Amino acid sequence: MSSVITLEHVSKRFEGKRQVIALDGVSLAIERGEMVSIIGPSGSGKSTLLNLVGGLDRPTSGQVRIDGEALADLSDDDLTRVRRDKIGFIFQFFNLLPTLSCLENVGLPLHLRGWPRQKVDERSRELLTLVQLGHRLNHLPEELSGGERQRVAIARALSIYPPIILADEPTGNLDTHTGEEILALVRDLHGRLGSTVVIVTHDMKVAESCPRTIALRDGRIVQDVRR
Amino acid sequence: MILLRLISWPYFRKHVLRTILTVAGIVLGVAVFVGMHTANQSVLFAFSRTVDRIAGKTEIQVTAGEAGFAEDILEKVQSAASVRVAVPVIEAVVDTNIAGEGHLLVLGVDMTGDRSLRDYDLDSGSEEVIDDPLVFLAQPDSIILTRQFAEKSGLAVNDRIRLGTVEGDRQFTIRGIMKTGGITSAFGGNLAIMDVYAAQRMFGRGRTFDRIDVGVNPGATIAECERELTALLGAGLQIEPPSGRGQQFEAMLAAYSMMVGISSLFALFIGMFIIYNSFAIAVTQRRSEIGILRALGATRAQIRWLFLGESAVTGLIGSIGGLAFGMLIARGIAASIGTLLSDVYGVAQRADEVSSSPALLAAALGIGIATSIVAAMIPARNAARVDPVQALQKGKYQVLSTGEYRLRAILAAIGGAGAIACLAVGGSRVVFYTGYVMAIVAALLISPMLAVALARAMRPVLKWLRPVEGALAADSLLQSPRRTSASVAALMLSLALVVAFAGMARASYDSIIDWMETALNPDLFVSPSQSIVVRTIRFPRSMEAELAAVPGVERVQAVRDARIVFRKTPVMVVAVDVASVAQTARRQPVAGDADDMYARTSAGQGLMVSDNLAQLQHLSLGQVLEVPAPYGVIRLPIAGIVVDYSDQQGTILMDSRVFQQYWHDDTVNIFRLYLKPGVPMPDVRRSILERYAGDRQVFVLTNAELKAYILKVTDQWFGLTSVQIAVAVLVAILGIVNTLTVSITDRRRELGVLQAVGGLRGQIRRTIWIEALSIGVLGLVLGLGLGAINLYYILQIIHEDIAGMRLEYAFPVTVVAALVPTILASAFIAAIWPAESAVHGSLVEALEYE
């Protein structure tokens, strides 16, 4: 299998009154179609790792490659295009736009790519039906439960059928039952769509449900387990 | 105080740009107020000082407006027992012919008696020339200059200076140079002294004087002397202390001052909205902080005072900045007013020093601080009402509550109904102005709801145009009506001001053009001065026959016009051969019958008055007017009321014979010439210039040139108000920048999400741009609507209270057509910086932002 995500000696330091090393020379390869969980205590660098892989941030040193493309060399807009075409994000706090309906939220990445309105509409309906929210198309986020909001966020992440899905604590803001449902949904979609899924989590049950788990501590990989 | 240091100061430090924008609102408002009023005050002060310095020890002046009077009045004055000394004076403003020096005020005095009223302290020149008035008189080309003027112009004693006179440019010999001090500082130092009888000849005054300066006998009081002179001379002359001239000058500027006042008030009002907007936003953003303070035991009063204290400090800093900036712009404005006075009113005035009274500065400081505190009152009250439990929870507080909506709607409806009722009831001016205020307040109250309704209507259109950017921009406006509406309201107010002034300007132009078409239809105008409003140089009447004899000339009409004091107000008297004018420029009266009006006026049995004079002085057809003149009071009925724009304070038209009878003055200000059909105008013009070459100073203007001159002067009148309009728009733009800066902070996470899911920088920028343009559109729609209403009120105010001009209501379509792209472009410019700041922040921080 070929690596879809590669990190080569990646470090991230935050300058301030006191320098903070969030990631310290991390090297890592994730194969296409893998489902990987990243665990570690607070401040271990999990979210920083996810932000760098997702092109939301740039490393202080080292190289991040997505599908073989080195992110460090890209301009801001080119980086955005990588996110737009290859990555779907699922956030802990959903990050849905409060003024847009479910249909509009899911269609957002497609509109940004300049898709025709009808096609955007068809795809958004299809995905919302897939996450079992076909009956909530025109509802605003504030009219939905936490689980439903996360489903909309998942549908949005899937809207472009991205090869990579990055999830930052996707169940962190949900109750246990809803969290399990969401996780089942992610696993199901992973199975059906074959995307590479990287999940950052605190929850060991979530981590253990993934075939591979990488543990971080003080910005370094301390464990990489395949099941 | 401790709360201000602990809570407010860190907030201001964190939001430097927004703080600067807030302060800028007050700076501009106060600066316009201070600049305009200081300039106005400086010009008035300079005029009074000139009058004062020239007056010297004069205690009473005898005048007949600017018309002057015959020499025999002097003997009567000198015969009064209470008069110690009485000397004749002529004043004329002439072109210096020296580059950059402009005009020179020439004072014609009688040296035999004048030195007991004025000191001519010479520092060079032949003392005996001045000491012996006969020597001065024997040399009619003698002139004395001030040291400032001589030094600036590189002139010395016995040098010669060329000045424009009625006889053309004439050489004068400098016989003396006055030491600096006293009289020499009058008219900015551009002052010259010559013999009064030489001045009569040089400036075409015939045997008349402009005024008589009087020194009172030590045994009599000024009041006694005034009484004696009034008994001796009759009621037709003004007998008053020199300061009376300053009051007349002030009255002449009244219309302009009122317009300045209205515009300054609008600028402050708009500044107030910027402050309101900033504080309303601050309260919303600092809810959790307020909640913590409340939870820790801060009382509601302490929270309220915290915000009021912040606004007072902001107002103080902004006002100090405004004072400094205002003084800076006052000099430029004073120069403009000087030009305006000389071009519109024909009164030459130089305000070389810009000085402001401590009272004005204190008032501006007070107004700035008060404006700021008043603007922050509602946000401060809202802050005090914050519930600590709710405040510590996250959520949206930008929305208006249903209760507030209802209250605003009810108050707006009451205001609107009140405004309509005031118009319907009419009657007193108090009712009218109450209605005006109610209409503006109603518009302000209803503006947030209208803005939201319009934004909601715009959303589908914006979404159709740009599915993501358009929808998000509209949503941003809808989600924060407080944030949006204050900016929209500021823009609405400034546009309402622009529309009203533009409408007034257009209506004035239309009316003036109409008037010019009928009243100013001669082919040529012959004037002794380049400026038709300068009346200090006049022609002898004998020129009428000479001009009539010029080949190609069919008819000549001599015009004598002068500003006199009528009912304590300076108004214009225009004397013409009414029978002749009736044949060539027949006007339809607003009141009266045209045939009867011309017949009675030409027969000397009636007077015609302008519409604006009738309005301002409450005159009606048939009413007997009492017009003061040096040789008696004219008592004649009003034979007709006509539209006439010769003067802003109004015009009295009479037959030349009546004027000559009551003023003993047959000089002429301007000749109106009609040419024979088919005669080429340039040929006649050349003939006239050749006829008087080297003999007389003559300017010949064609009809088109005169009309262009009048329109240029009209432009100047509106020129200063356009500066204020620009400031008002600038203040409104500041509001948009402020709103967008806050909007971006509020939507940081939303914009971060947009970028995370693939929004390119260009797409983010477009969202901000569309939001700014939408604010522009909302402001335009509401501003043009309120402008249409405001225009109605302003035209009424002009008609009833300022100029008495009856102006037709016409919406200024052309200006609005220019305004739409201007405002949209300004809104776009206002969005550039906020949009850049939106795309340059950290994405990770934006996604974590709460």
Amino acid letter, B735: G
The proportion of chain A whose per-residue pLDDT surpasses 70, expressed as a percent, equals 100
Q: What pLDDT is attached to residue B850?
A: 46
d(CA B35, CA B260): 10
Q: Is the pLDDT of residue B676 over 60?
A: yes
For B413, the token pair is 């409806």
d(CA B775, CA B658): 62
Q: What pLDDT is attached to residue B393?
A: 56
Q: Is the pLDDT of residue B395 over 60?
A: no
Q: Is the pLDDT of residue B144 over 70?
A: yes
How far is C-alpha B802 from the chain's CA centre?
12
**How many contacts, defined by CB atoms under 8 Å, are there between A and B?**
72
**Rounded alpha-carbon distances, angstroms, from residue A92 to A153, A163, B340, B842:** 10, 20, 68, 19
Q: Using pLDDT thresholds of 50, 70 and 90, give the confidence band for residue B289.
A: confident
> What is Dmax (Cα atoms) for chain A?
52
Q: Picking from A1-15, A150-164, B107-121, which range would have the lowest pLDDT averaged per residue?
A: B107-121
- Burial letters B273-298, b for 16+ CB under 10 A, else e: bbbbbbbbbbbbbbbebbbebbeeeb
Contacts of A46 (CB under 8 A, 6+ apart): A38, A39, A40, A200, A216
For A41, the token pair is 């205590």
Among A57, A77, A95, beta carbon nearest to B844: A57
Q: Using pLDDT thresholds of 50, 70 and 90, give the confidence band for residue B132.
A: low
Q: Which residue has the tokens 């910005």?
A: A219
At how many degrees (to 10) do helices B243-252 and B16-55 cross? 140
**Per-domain residue ranges of chain B:** 1-58+242-378, 60-234, 398-514+707-850, 538-696
Q: Is the pLDDT of residue B398 over 60?
A: no
Q: Using pLDDT thresholds of 50, 70 and 90, give the confidence band for residue B162.
A: confident
Q: Which CATH superfamily is domain A3-226 in?
A: P-loop containing nucleotide triphosphate hydrolases (3.40.50.300)
How far off is chain B from A35, nearest CA to CA, in Å? 21
> What is Dmax (Cα atoms) for chain B?
100
The proportion of chain B whose per-residue pLDDT surpasses 70, expressed as a percent, equals 91
What is chain B's mean pLDDT, rounded?
A: 84
Contacts of A199 (CB under 8 A, 6+ apart): A35, A36, A37, A38, A167, A170, A186, A206, A207, A210
Q: Do A95 and B471 touch (CB under 8 A)?
A: no
Amino acid letter, A53: V
Q: Do B760 and A108 touch (CB under 8 A)?
A: no
Contacts of B483 (CB under 8 A, 6+ apart): B277, B280, B281, B284, B398, B739, B742, B743, B746
**Residue A201 class from Cβ within 10 Å (0-12 exposed, 13-18 middle, 19+ buried)?**
buried
Q: Which of residues 116-155 of B touch A (CB under 8 A)?
A: none
Q: What pLDDT is attached to residue B297?
A: 75
Among B757, B761, B842, beta carbon nearest to A109: B757
Q: What pLDDT is attached to residue B9?
A: 75
d(CA A107, CA A121): 7
Write down the pTM of the prediction. 0.74
Which positions in chain B touch A114 (Cβ < 8 Å)? Answer: none
Q: Using pLDDT thresholds of 50, 70 and 90, give the confidence band for residue B396.
A: very low
Q: What pLDDT is attached to residue B11?
A: 75
Q: Picking from B568-572, B578-582, B744-748, which range would have the lowest pLDDT averaged per residue?
A: B744-748
Q: Is the pLDDT of residue B35 over 60?
A: yes
**Rounded alpha-carbon distances, angstroms, from residue A129 to A151, A158, A191, B792:** 10, 12, 17, 59
Which positions in chain A touch B475 (Cβ < 8 Å)? Answer: 97, 99-100
Q: Is B460 on the interface with A (CB under 8 A)?
A: no
- The mean pLDDT of A147-173, rounded to a whole number, is 88
Bridge partners (DSSP) listed for residue B636 = B625
Q: Using pLDDT thresholds of 50, 70 and 90, give the confidence band for residue B724.
A: low
Q: Is B456 on the interface with A (CB under 8 A)?
A: no
* Contact by Cβ (8 Å): B270, B490: yes
d(CA B569, CA B462): 58
Q: What is the ipTM of this complex?
A: 0.82
Q: What pLDDT is attached to residue B773?
A: 93
Among A77, A89, A117, beta carbon nearest to B756: A89
At how many degrees (to 10) do helices B72-79 and B222-233 cross? 130
Half-sphere exposure of B452 (CA within 13 A, CB side): 14
Q: Is A119 on the interface with B (CB under 8 A)?
A: no
* Contact by Cβ (8 Å): B350, B395: no
Q: What pLDDT is attached to residue B567?
A: 87
The proportion of chain B whose per-residue pLDDT surpasses 90, expressed as a percent, equals 29
Q: Using pLDDT thresholds of 50, 70 and 90, give the confidence band for residue A56.
A: confident
